[in-house]
């Protein structure tokens, strides 16, 4: 009977915990799995002594393709079942903006992939920089615009179109063109190209960024500049040209809006697994980047675990943003430690 009570207590505790995984540097490196990732997902999907599923979601600052496509890719890399409902990438919470803006400029990403993402989110009229270059190539004087890009662009008379908001979804593939067009629009009267606002603040359209990471690790020996660096450059140019500060909204880790959105996704996943949408008391965030995963999780009251398989390579805990639950060699060690503590 004692053993049964213990198992009952453990099962109860297991229903009061959830995991939030960063992806890059924790479960995968680009297209390659991190060895312990697959085992962790097996454990949380029921291969544990209780035979119980433990809710877990994926929270990445990655971007640039539809959620379904990214989840399919992760399933292949990790050989594990992952549902779109348990996955959040940097621009996922931006779907909520679709009801507020009619025509939007979507910036970043490969080809026309981010247009596809925005349309899936329900944005009614999605313009990308290539549509504008196809309309008036002189807007981007150094751009070489190929026949293929021209054929797949959707030019229109932008002198008679108001763009209601700018949404930077992913890394710019052409800083010069994208910055020029964004600055033109920010300085225009209510998003009408070819105009210059008399009042740079009152007539300025809003701009949103899907995440703020300055750097991103790649196959290059040192990390490459990412959306945060692009934004800082843009802010400096805008200030120099207009004399006023650029107000903007940033999503992604470690921004509050993204963590609130994550709570909704955790609640939905609790409902699916335990038939109870209350948030668990013990949420563990496992990340490799102190400046996004860990600082955000700490601010939001989650238990944070820093792993050494990605961005962070230091000795001991991070000085500026120490992980509250500790530093681990890899994701498996972090999950095992959290389960030992709670169960
Ligand atoms: O910086 C963009 C992306 O590579 C970060 O991904 O999963 O570590 O948040 P993640
Ligand atoms: Mg990461």
What pTM, to 2 d.p., does this model score? 0.95
Q: Which DSSP string corresponds to 232-278?
A: HHHHHHHHHHHSSPPP-EE-STT-HHHHHHHHHHHHHHHHHHHS--S
Strands 303-307 and 326-328, by their bridges, are parallel
Using CB distances shorter than 6 Å, the residues near ligand 1 are 22-25, 60-62, 213, 216, 226
**Which of 155, 162, 148 has the alpha carbon at shortest distance from 129?**
155
pLDDT beyond 80 at 56: yes
- Per-residue pLDDT, 11: 85
Pick the atom of ligand 1 nearest to 253's CA: 9
Average of per-residue pLDDT across 322-328: 98
Pick the atom of ligand 1 nearest to 62's CA: 3
pLDDT, tens digit, 9 for 90 and up, residues 186-225: 999 999 999 999 999 999 999 999 999 998 888 888 889 9
- Residue among 27, 61, 212, 225 whose CB has most ligand 1 atoms within 8 A, to mutate: 61
Pick the atom of ligand 1 nearest to 288's CA: 8
> Which domains can be identified in the chain, with CATH numbers?
1-22+47-87+253-282+329-343 (3.40.50.1000), 100-250 (3.40.50.1000)
The tokens of 175 are what? 């800083």
What is the Å distance from ligand 2's center to 285 Cα? 11
Model confidence at 14, pLDDT cuts 50, 70, 90, reads: confident
Pick the atom of ligand 1 nearest to 289's CA: 8
- Per-residue pLDDT, 86: 97
- Per-residue pLDDT, 4: 79
Q: Is 327 helix (H, G, I), strand (E, B) or coil?
A: strand
What is the Å distance from ligand 1's center to 91 Cα? 12
Average of per-residue pLDDT across 97-123: 97
pLDDT, tens digit, 9 for 90 and up, residues 118-177: 999 999 999 999 999 999 999 999 999 999 999 999 999 999 999 999 999 999 999 999
- Per-residue pLDDT, 247: 97
- Per-residue pLDDT, 76: 98
What is the Å distance from ligand 2's center to 278 Cα? 27
pLDDT, tens digit, 9 for 90 and up, residues 128-139: 999 999 999 999
pLDDT beyond 90 at 184: yes
Residue with CA nearest ligand 1 atom 3: 62
Model confidence at 7, pLDDT cuts 50, 70, 90, reads: confident
Q: Which residues pair with 24 in a beta bridge?
A: 28
- Per-residue pLDDT, 5: 80
Model confidence at 3, pLDDT cuts 50, 70, 90, reads: confident
What is the Å distance from ligand 2's center to 195 Cα? 41
Count CB atoms within 10 A of the CB of residue 162.
Answer: 16
- Give the ipTM of the model, two decimals please: 0.97
pLDDT, tens digit, 9 for 90 and up, residues 221-258: 888 999 999 999 999 999 999 999 999 999 999 999 99
């Amino acid at each position: 009977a004692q053993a049964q009570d213990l198992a009952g207590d453990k099962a109860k505790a297991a229903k009061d915990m959830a995991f939030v995984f960063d992806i890059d540097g924790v479960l995968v490196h680009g297209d390659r799995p991190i060895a312990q990732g697959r085992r962790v997902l097996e454990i949380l999907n029921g291969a544990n002594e209780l035979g119980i599923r433990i809710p877990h979601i994926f929270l990445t600052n990655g971007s640039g393709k539809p959620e379904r496509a990214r989840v399919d890719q992760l399933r292949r890399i990790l050989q594990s079942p992952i549902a779109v409902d348990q996955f959040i990438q940097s621009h996922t919470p931006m779907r909520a903006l679709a009801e507020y803006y009619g025509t939007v400029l979507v910036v970043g990403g490969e080809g026309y992939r981010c247009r596809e993402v925005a349309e899936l989110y329900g944005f009614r009229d999605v313009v990308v920089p290539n549509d504008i270059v196809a309309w008036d190539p002189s807007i981007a004087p150094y751009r070489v615009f190929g026949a293929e890009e021209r054929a797949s662009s959707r030019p229109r008379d932008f002198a008679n179109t108001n763009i209601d908001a700018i949404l930077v979804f992913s890394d710019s593939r052409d800083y010069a063109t994208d910055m020029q067009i964004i600055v033109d629009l920010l300085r225009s009267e209510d998003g009408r190209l070819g105009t210059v606002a008399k009042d740079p603040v009152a007539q300025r359209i809003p701009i949103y960024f899907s995440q703020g990471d300055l750097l991103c690790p790649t196959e290059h020996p040192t990390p490459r500049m990412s959306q945060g660096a692009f934004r800082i450059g843009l802010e400096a140019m805008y200030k120099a040209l207009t004399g006023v500060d650029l107000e903007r909204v940033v999503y992604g880790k470690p921004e509050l809006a993204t963590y609130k959105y994550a709570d909704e996704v955790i609640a939905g996943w609790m409902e699916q697994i335990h038939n109870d949408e209350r948030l668990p008391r013990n949420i563990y965030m496992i990340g490799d980047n102190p400046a996004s995963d860990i600082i955000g999780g700490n601010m939001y009251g989650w238990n944070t675990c820093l792993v050494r398989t990605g961005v962070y390579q230091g000795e001991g805990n991070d000085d500026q943003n120490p992980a509250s639950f500790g530093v681990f060699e890899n994701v498996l060690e972090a999950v095992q430690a959290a389960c030992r503590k709670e169960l």
